[in-house]
Every structure is written in C-alpha cells, then in structure tokens.
Structure 1
C-alpha cells in the first residue's frame, strides 16, 4: 500500500476559464452520460436543442461539448451530432477495470494531527483493510489539520481530485457545508465511491459509518439518573452537525422519559472555548445552580470542565460527576481516569474501507443501495462519576458495560 500527502497541481490551461453556465451544462451532460441517458455510442441532442432544453446560451453548450471531446468522452464530427464515445463510459466506470497490477488511488479526507487519536485510529482501520487487498491501494491524504486552506476548501480540492485525477473516490470526515455536500452527491451519481464517517446529513443518501449517538447519549443520562442524579447538564457546542444534534436529542429524551424534562439544561458554547466555559461556571456558582453531574460532548470538553471545576475548589466527583465521550484515556500511557462512552474508532475505519471497496467493485456503483453502519459503543466507568450518597472511592473500577447495536 502506498500513501502520500495531498500535493496535486495542474498545468495552466491556456483557454479562458469556463463560465458558470458552461460548468453547469458540463455537469448535466456528464451525469447523463454516466447514467446512460446518453448511452455508449448514442447521439447527444443538437446544440440548439441543448440551449433550449437547459435554458442557457450556445457559448456555454459549445464550451461543455469541447471539454467532453477533449477528455475523450464524446466524438465530434462536422455535420453530425456529438456521439458518446463507443469505447468510453463514465471515467468512474473505466477506473474499476484497470489492470490488477495498477494501484487504485483512494482519497482520505481526515485530520492527521499526531494528538488526534480518533482520526488516527480511523486511519489505522482503513489502512488495515486496504493492506489486506490483493490489488494494491494508494492513499491520497487530504489533511484537515495541517493544510493552510479551510476544511471546506480542502473537501472541494478532494472532489476535484476525484473528478479530474486518477482518484477512484474518497473516505471523508465531512464538514457538511452545502457546497461540499453538493459536490460529494454529484460524485456519487457519477459512480464514485464516497463514504462518510462520524457525521452525515440524514436528508442526503450516502454510505456512512459511525455510532448511534442518540442511544449512546440516552445511555449516559440514564446511567446518571440510576445513580441518583437529577440536576444533569449537557455540555455541548453550537456546531450544526448530526453527531452533536443527536446527542442533544438523546439527552433531552432521557430526561423526559424519567419525568425530569423541567431539569433540562444545555451549556451550549461555540466549540467549547475556555473563556466561554469559565463565564458559564462562574455564573452558576454565583447563582447556586451548580449541577450534580455533567454529560460532556467529548473527552476534550470534559477534561476542560474538570480543570475549571478544580481551579474553583469544586471536587470531581465528590461535588460534580463528569462523563465524557470518545474514551481518549484508553490511549494514555498513564492509564485512564475519566468515565466515558467509548467509540470504536478503528472499527469505524475498517467498516468505511469495506463499504468503499464494495461499491468500487460493484458492477453498478451508482445504483447500489446505500448503507449506514452504526457500531456499538461501550460505557467505561472510571473515577469521575459516583452515585450520590456513596464515596467516590467505590467507583474507581472499570466494569464491562456494553451499549449500542449494529445495523
């Protein structure tokens, strides 16, 4: 298996840049060719018919047709309507029939920071599956943390690589920006494998691997309620992604089903910044409304909360119990201390690679049903949570408490 960082570059194109209309026409024609609306060897409509049908101008149509002809997808002859090249299907289809000795290139859009254990373990799972294949695989890594561009812009670069370079498809930790989602959806329609991990837009069909965030959040809150806690705060952030929303919904429903809906309190902060958290804690301390337990969005925010509490003389878990999410402590050399919900990150990567390869090898990748795989989570009980009325020392063991299900 080969791997390299993203360093694509293109030679300057002497032709003028295509207009927005020309790009839109090109996308429509590409999709129709890929979906066999214009079958191999078949004729396209005339320029005049395309202008009328698409509501555009002739210059845009001609530019799109020239681009298709230059790439070998259509044949143009004087006095004849353009013809879909008889020996050329959509480029996504052609890549699936490359020589067995020709490495397939797979785009990986993930953070690659040394301390980002989640993406590191997902990457480990992806690599393990790809190494097991008879056909070698080459990884083109788009690093969401090391790049000088924004994550959204890097996603668009990855989409361009799939469309314009010899990249079969991508495994993506998506930003879910409207522009990037539209581009990934277009690649799906063209037959390119695209697998999302961690989060997805539930309104958009896709291959996805993650966990059941809603059920995991409910499990955490029900665990706290069973230990006598009723004043439970959910420390979250304002990022509008599915994982964040689903954990909030699980928190709310667990309180509601326990008859504690009136006790709901969200500490919703913009990406859980230190200053915002300090202000919220100080406000609650002044009002005497400190909770007995906090369910944090992730282990990072839970660790930040514990630090702020202890800086103010508030003992964890004697005065406030704290539960995190992810289980970053399992990667610490000194051993774990935080009660948390463990995510199976390496298995997420393995499943993502499996779904990618299944679609890549499918005779009809664009028509293959999409799959959502939700992997089990596991509640790890350590020393930051206790039963009300019981000494904290009784809760330093780590029982095997399993939660979740696999679809």
Structure 2
C-alpha cells in the first residue's frame, strides 16, 4: 500500500516541469497564465487527485469563504429551513456553509466551536443548545474578532447580533385563540431548560391567562424535553388529574403530537373535549387527524436575515457595527385541532 503523503502543488509542478507558483496561479485562474497551461494544470491535478489546502489558502488570503453554522439538530424542519435560508444568501456571495450539530450537548458545542476556529472559518452562526449555560466558548470567538451571529435560541449574556421570532407573541396569540374558542382550563407543555424561547412561550401563556382573568394552575404546566414520547407522558399526567384540561398548548409540535396520540387512544375527542395546539409548524402538523393548530416561525426568512446580518459584520471588519436584535412576527396557523366554534 502506498504511503505517499497528500498531493501538493509541488507534485503537479514537478510532473509538468513548471514552477509551483505557476501551478498556484493557474489553479486560481490568474489572467497572466495561458489557457494551455491552465488546462494542463487542471488535468494533472485531477489525475493526481489533488485537493487544495483550504486552511493554507485562508492563511494566505485572510479568507476561507466558509461559514460555520451550529444547530442543535439538523433533522428538525425548523433548523433545516433556517440553514436553507442562510445558504440562499451565502451561496450568492460564493460562500460555503459547514453545518454542525450540537445535539443540545454543551461539551459537543464547545468542541464544535474549537473545530470551526481551527478550520479558519470566516465566521460562525449558531443556535445555542438547551443545556448551555456557560458562554465562554462563544466569547472566545468574539475575542478573536470573528463575526458571530445567533438565531432562535439566543442569550443576552453575549453582545452579538441576534435574530429570533417573537416567541412571547406567538404563545400569547395561541392561548388567546384557545380562550376565544371557549377553553378555560388550558395546560402548557414547556421545558425545564433556561432557554429563551421556552421562557418567552411560558410568559406568553401566563400573561394571556392573566389578561383574560383565568387562574394560573401549576398542575397544568408540565416540564419535559418536549419530544414525542414526552408529550405522551405529559398528557397521561394531565389525564390523572381530578379535572382534566379542556385544552393543551405545547411549546413543541412533537410533544403536541404525542399528546394527540394518547387522546386518540383513549377516545377523547379533539377539539370537542380537549383542544390541542403546538409551536413550530412542522410539516406533519397539516397531515395529522385533525390537523394541528400551530405557530409558524418564518424559518427561511430568519435564515436570510441572519446571513445578511453576518455579512454586514464581516464587511465592517475591525470597524465593527452595533449589535442588532431582529425580532420577526410569528403567524398563528389555525387548524381543526382547536376549532370548537
């Protein structure tokens, strides 16, 4: 088995009997190099399976044309759509995106930041993991003068530009809608984690109850990781109460789906006996039976704006720009799971 190291421009130069600098210029489409030489260099590079050293190029030019994007998980429609929105802007500017997943794991998030810095990315766009309470790894990015923009899950502990939807308003409008449909005993599925989006959704829930003079009942607020199985278990807890709720508003569509499964298994009518609403407008919500009322987070728009903000920071360089907080207005998507009237 061959033990030859990675092919370099010097290998191409030796094969063609030209200088390494000529090879470099040809690979970068320098107008001073003839078309014949460029063609020969590209052909030889392909034959030798030459792979450019992006880190070395970044050191030479001061740019890698790569952005690191960190999401808690890439298999959620919301995060995938935000990434799509980011790529729409980045690709038009000839930038590539590296997508990394933290899996809501703090240590993984720290390691990912370190790997992206070592890869010489031009900047980082991130949504903070549920379990992150120490932000030193993000402060390290800032200390190196590398642009950092946060989206969706953000924190006020970092002086950075942020893009989010108005989670409070989305939650308030959902609970208000349930009240207008005649619901008075409204449960809420939330997260125990100190993540801004869930705190704001809980605040919207409690404020809507207060404004409509409905007493807050802590038994009706169930904390979990908001996955499908969590929704199932949370619904089972609510059904054990002396008086079951007449509505459930979940801070996650997945937990709402779990609740729906349990209600259907027990022949509890939706929405006649229990109205049900979620949050995020995942694709499956329009196909459930009945279709699920939810809140659309305008994910592609969020990705577009996040990328635009990033490039504003990047172009400003050392001059910098004042950190901006962009809050998008959510849209309540009303479907049959809550329509009693």
Establish whether TM, by shorter chain, passes 0.5: yes
Matching residue of 1:358? 312
Distance 1:346 1:279, change over 3 A: closer
How far 1:301 moved relative to its partner? 0.8
2:61 is matched with 98
Provide the residue aligned with 1:384 in structure 2: 337
Q: Does the aligned pair in 2 maintain the 1:329–1:335 contact within 8 Å?
A: no
How large is the RMSD of aligned CA atoms in angstroms?
A: 2.8
Distance 1:109 1:360 in 2: 18
Choose the corresponding residue for 2:264, options 310, 313, 325.
310
Aligned length: 284
Tell me the CA shift for residue 152 of structure 1.
2.1
CA contact (8 A) 1:232 1:264 kept: no
Deviation track 1:78-125 (CA, whole Å, cap 9, x = no partner) reads: xxxxxxxxxxxxxxxxx79937xx641211112554x42111101110
CA distance in 2, matches of 1:96, 1:372: 32
The answer (yes or no) to whether the contact 2:232–2:261 under 8 Å persists in 1 is no
| Residue of structure 2 in register with 1:260 after alignment | 214
Relative to structure 1, is the Cα distance of residues 128 and 246 closer, same or farther in structure 2, using a 3 angstrom cutoff? same
Q: Contact conserved, 1:122 with 1:347, CA < 8 A, in 2?
A: yes
Structure 2 CA distance for partners of 1:97 and 1:233, relative to 1, 3 Å:
farther
* Structure 1 residues 169 and 331: alpha-carbon distance in aligned structure 2, compared to 1, 3 A threshold: farther
Q: What's the secondary structure of 2:150's corresponding residue?
A: strand
CA distance in 1, matches of 2:136, 2:60: 27
d(CA) in 2 for partners of 1:246, 1:198 = 12
The equivalent residue for 2:245 is 291
* Structure of greater relative contact order (alpha carbons < 8 Å, 6+ residues apart): 2
Find the aligned partners of 1:159 and 1:356 in 2 and give their Cα distance: 17
- TM-aligned CA distance change 1:112 to 1:215, over 3 Å: closer
Structure 1 residues 280, 152: closer, same or farther in 2, change over 3 A? closer
Does the 8 Å contact 2:102/2:112 carry over to 1? Answer: no
Question: Alpha carbons of 1:303 and 1:275: their partners in 2 closer, same or farther (altered >3 Å)?
Answer: closer
Shift of 1:130: 0.7
How far off its partner does 1:335 sit?
10
1:107 aligns with 2:68: yes
* In 1: Cα distance, 2:231 partner to 2:288 partner: 27
Q: Give the gaps of 5 or more residues in structure 1.
A: 1-94, 391-407
In the superposition, the TM-score normalised over structure 1's length comes to: 0.63
Match of 2:54 in 1: none
> Shift in Å at residue 315 of structure 1?
1.0
Distance in 1, matches of 2:218 and 2:121, equals 47
The whole-number CA distance in structure 2 between the counterparts of 1:111 and 1:283 is: 28
| TM-score of the two chains, using structure 2 as the length reference | 0.75
Match of 2:89 among 126, 129, 133: 129
Between the aligned partners of 1:130 and 1:351, the Cα distance in structure 2 is 11
Provide the C-alpha distance between the structure 2 equivalents of 1:326 and 1:278, rounded to a whole number of angstroms: 18
The structure carrying a bigger helix percent of its residues is: 2
Work out the CA distance in 1 between the residues paired with 2:70 and 2:316. Answer: 23
User: Are the counterparts in 1 of residues 228 and 256 from structure 2 also a CA contact under 8 Å?
Assistant: no
User: In structure 2, do the counterparts of structure 1 residues 335 and 144 end up closer, same or farther at CA, with 3 Å as the change threshold?
Assistant: farther
Contact between 2:228 and 2:254, CA under 8 Å: does it hold in 1?
Answer: no
**Contact 1:232–1:263 (Cα < 8 Å) also in 2:** no
Map of 1:32 onto structure 2:
none
Alignment match, 1:177: 132
Q: Do the aligned partners of 1:126 and 1:353 also contact (CA within 8 Å) in 2?
A: yes
Q: Distance in 2 between matches of 1:284 and 1:140?
A: 42
Gaps in structure 2 of 5+ consecutive residues:
1-57
Question: What is the match of residue 44 of structure 1?
Answer: none
Find the counterpart in structure 2 of residue 205 from structure 1.
159
